[in-house]
Chain A
């Protein structure tokens, strides 16, 4: 058995809404798996089912070979969970939060104290261990939640948007840390950040409306768009007006705008000339062909822009 995680047709239905829709997946042991999707895609719902918090409407899943329904307790002893929202106990100090967690796993105090010292050192909170989480910054709280999930040395770690709201420096610190956990541990993370998935994940699935849209390495996903013609355009002024103009062109897709620069895909190479004819040459500062980024793949698949 080499799979840390096997999901077969897992679904969660709320009324008529299928939050997760017959989702299937295999995750290899010791890898970092990334689940990408826009808001409401069903990422958290999927994680909640896998971590035995939510009962699936249909389907099944196994973690390290143990069924999440019939062997829920065994599953829970093998997983570490970092939820989307920090759920620290604000009436307990940093260290006490970790100790309570260890006690739930019936760890001996000599064992957990050593482990907690180690983790506190690693996340740089040794000096703050007797302070309450309320006095911590968002990044420090997040690191504490991650440390808490690791006290009992899980086999597979679930991270629901581990770096949302962190500054670039803290994000990088979390990435480095997560990376250092493999290959002893399998990591399952969700994120909105393309760069995060790109640098961190061995394998990526993009999901929306409860379904998996694509599956592969970052390079493979970008390869799917290799046929697409991504261009970067920069105007000296009038971004507003050019956006309207570009949106009306039938052969322009996946338009993204930042100020006066645009990123877009053409449905075919032959449309470059019509494009240039429409926008004229007066305000153009720059136009160039671009390698597709993971973000382009994401927008291509989820049409996220259109829905917002």
Chain B
């Protein structure tokens, strides 16, 4: 059962291990720049948000953003690359494993990448920042980084499955993923939105990730509604990606 998924996951971790250091460096650079520019550079201009120092306020969002972007990117490009460039998916498909093995293996790889990279950023921010989260808060944060990476890995898998032209994957990321992430309150409290917009935006799964992450890391509180929204989204995203991939493969 799932031996194919395990084999594919094993392959991806093997490849990741070889390039981990350089990848981590590349992936940490961006959130770290944002952190330094906004958290430290603007320190004198932005007052505390709801009593929380601004640098601390944005930290959970930056960690989560790294995790979910990495999960999306890894899944989307990996599925696309193995399908269109290396055609290794065809090699997988002439063995007795199922298409579900392939899609599950790929989703878990994306999920693992997201989680590992998110934690790497967390580590660096913790080292740099004068503020400390109580370690117990990290525990409350786990469901958000896990579910967030899972959802974005599924969405990435769908993109890598349906999109044939590589530039279109970049476009989806620029037009859908990035705005979704930035609108969900990484850099500002959601209460800045007008009332009507707030009602809509608070239903976004991304909002659940970022708000939930902040609540968890700053207050050690697990927002149950957010976890509920994320669980439901993860189930739907997983089913959708498995279905999409299966349909693409039987074309």
List residues of A whose CB falls within 8 A of some B CB. 51-53, 55, 73-74, 76-77, 79, 81, 83, 85, 87-92, 96, 100-101, 103-106, 148, 152
Contact = CB atoms under 8 A, between A and B. Distances in A.
B127 interface: no
Which of under 10, 10 to 19, 20 to 34, or 35 or more describes the interface residues of B?
A: 20 to 34
A157 to B, nearest CB: 11
A79 B94 contact: yes
Nearest to B249: A53
Interface stretch (B4-12, B39-47, B168-176, B219-227): B4-12
Contact of B14 (A73, A90, A92, A101): A92
Interface of B: 3-4, 6-7, 10-11, 14-15, 18, 86-88, 90-98, 250
Given A104-B4, A104-B7, A73 B98 contact: yes
Contacts of B7: 100, 103-104
The secondary structure that dominates the B interface is: helix
A114 to B, nearest CB: 19
B91 A87 contact: yes
Nearest to B15: A91
6 contacts: A53-B94, A74-B96, A77-B95, A81-B94, A88-B86, A105-B95
A89 B95 contact: no
Contact of B91 (A101, A103, A106, A152): A101
Contact of B94 (A51, A90, A91, A103): A51
A92 B7 CA distance: 13
Contact of A76 (B6, B11, B15, B95): B95
A96 B88 CA distance: 13
Nearest to A73: B96
Given A53-B90, A87-B87, A105 B11 contact: no
Given A73-B98, A87-B87, A92-B14, A103 B93 contact: no
Given A87-B87, A152-B95, 9 more contacts: A76-B95, A77-B96, A87-B90, A92-B15, A103-B3, A103-B6, A104-B3, A104-B4, A106-B3
Which 3 pairs, one residue from A and one from B, show the smallest C-beta to C-beta distance? A104-B95, A103-B7, A87-B87
B94 A96 contact: no
Contacts of B86: 87-90
A89 B91 CA distance: 9
A101 B7 CA distance: 9
A52 to B, nearest CB: 7
A90 B87 CA distance: 11
A103 B10 contact: yes
A92 B93 contact: no
Contacts of A55: 250
A104 B14 contact: no
Contacts of B88: 87-89
Given A89-B86, A101-B95, A104-B4, A96 B250 contact: no
A105 B96 CA distance: 7
Nearest to B250: A55
A148 B4 CA distance: 16
B90 A83 contact: yes
Nearest to B82: A89
A14 to B, nearest CB: 11
Contacts of A106: 3
A85 B88 CA distance: 11
Contacts of B98: 73
A143 B94 CA distance: 18
A152 B92 CA distance: 13
Contacts of B92: 104
With a 10 A CB-CB cut-off, give which of B88, B90, B96, B250 has the most chain A CB atoms.
B96
Contacts of A74: 96
Given A87-B87, A87-B88, A92 B94 contact: no
B28 to A, nearest CB: 22
Contacts of A81: 91, 94
A152 B94 CA distance: 12
